[in-house]
Amino acid sequence: MVDILKTVLIISSITGALAYLLSLANKTIGNYGEKKMVINEEYDYVVDGGDTLLTALIDNEIFIPSACGGKGSCGYCKVKVNDGGGRFLPTEAGYVSKAEQEEGIRLSCQLKVKEDIQIEIDEELFNVKQYDYDINFITDVTPKIKHLRVQLPDDNEISFKPGQYIQILTPKYKGNREEVYRAYSIASAPKDNRNLELFIGYIPNGICTTYVHQHLTPNDKITIVGPYGDFFYQHSDREMVMVAIGTGMAPIMSILKYMRDEHIDRKVTFYFGARTREDLYMMEELETLTKELPRFRLITCLSRPTEACNWDGEKGRVTDLIEKYLDNGPECEAYLCGSPVMIDSVTPLLQEKGIPEEHIFYDKFE
């Protein structure tokens, strides 16, 4: 028994010593003092050396996309580094192409600021803010999709383009030990700048979707960062072709509401696909939009209708709808929202139908 106690004491002592040495190393070896960060050759900041570039940006309330919370697993937090980035790291290689590397593109969550650094980011990212929203309501619109409406407190407002997205900061909860950001498209109209609407589908073991579907209550607050994204309404006279499945409806809904509010008179066809009838949602609101937008046409289809669906509408996938109905591609521009599989199958079909590649806009998400 005495030998066991001695062994435990020895192991505890060694563990304590190692912990102390690691702490000391972090404070000394990893401490590079204060460094200068220059953004777009115009904005100067003093940051803590040794932190990641992503942390340095967040500390100065500059929020660039980072869905994985800085774990190096999403590739969203790319910035151009003109000077002071140090060597390119193996952990960046999977997300930064050779061509991007030659341009100085780096993953800000992996690069540590060890010297003065000069970077470039999109000017619009200076408009991205972090907001704490109140919950207006959380409603099930399908067995797997929740409709979430949140409201800014006080006199705060958010300005965004129809089609853009925000990131939700998911807090720690039972079963989740880390804070992470996850991206969701905005479904509401830009005119309603104190509120946001989102459609959030449940993904088994998904950190944020589990939080929203199983833990978030109307009494909670939710932290949102945004807006982001280069997918948004384009001002032109071309006929619009919209294609979405599942929660891909969100940015389409935002664009349609924007067109309604701004009295934009363009011909629009929205091809929306679902598996079964219960997966079709927001149909009443879409039907209302067909009355408010005289040149808006909604065409839905089911890929897996059952007898219980009692469905006499179009059957198949959205590609089948495009094959059947789209006959004037050269006059159109397209907005695609949904899974990579859907978008990768629809894009070449639209090009075959005559829509130029530069007029096909898309937002891929899982």
Q: What does the pLDDT look like over 257-267, one tens digit per residue?
A: 999 999 999 99
pLDDT recorded at residue 366: 64
Q: What ranges make up the beta strands (E) of 99-228?
A: 105-107, 117-120, 129-142, 145-151, 165-170, 180-185, 195-201, 221-228
Confidence (pLDDT) at 146:
97
Digit-coded pLDDT (tens) for 60-97: 999 998 877 677 778 889 999 999 999 999 999 989 99
Q: Which residues contact 255 (CB under 8 A, 6 or more apart)?
A: 162, 163, 232, 233, 242, 335
> So what's the pLDDT on residue 7?
56
Tokens found for residue 118: 């000069």
Question: Quick one: which of 264, 104, 288 has its CA closest to 191?
Answer: 264
Q: Which residues share a beta bridge with 270? A: 242, 298
Nearest to 190 by CA among 124, 121, 254: 254
Q: Supply φ then ψ for residue 9, to 5 degrees.
A: -65, -40
Q: Which fold has domain 128-228?
A: Elongation Factor Tu (Ef-tu); domain 3 (2.40.30)
Q: Where are the domains of the chain?
A: 34-124, 128-228, 239-364
Is the preceding omega at residue 204 within 30 degrees of 0, hence cis?
no
Backbone φ, ψ for residue 264 (5° rounding): -85, 120
| pTM listed for this prediction | 0.85
Please provide the DSSP assignment of 58-84 as one string. Answer: HHTT-----TTSSSSSS---EEEEEES
Between CA 67 and CA 366 the distance in angstroms is 12
Task: Determine the Cα–Cα distance for residues 146 and 151; give it in Å rounded to an integer.
Answer: 16
Count of all residues that appear for the chain in the document = 366
Query: Domain 34-124 belongs to what architecture?
Result: Roll (3.10)
Largest Cα span, the chain: 87
Question: So what's the pLDDT on residue 13?
Answer: 59
Distances (CA, A) of 15 to 10, 46, 97, 189: 9, 36, 41, 56
- Residue spans of the chain under pLDDT 50: 5, 8, 23-24, 27
Measured CA to CA, the distance from residue 68 to residue 70 in angstroms comes to 6
Record: fold of 239-364: Rossmann fold (3.40.50)
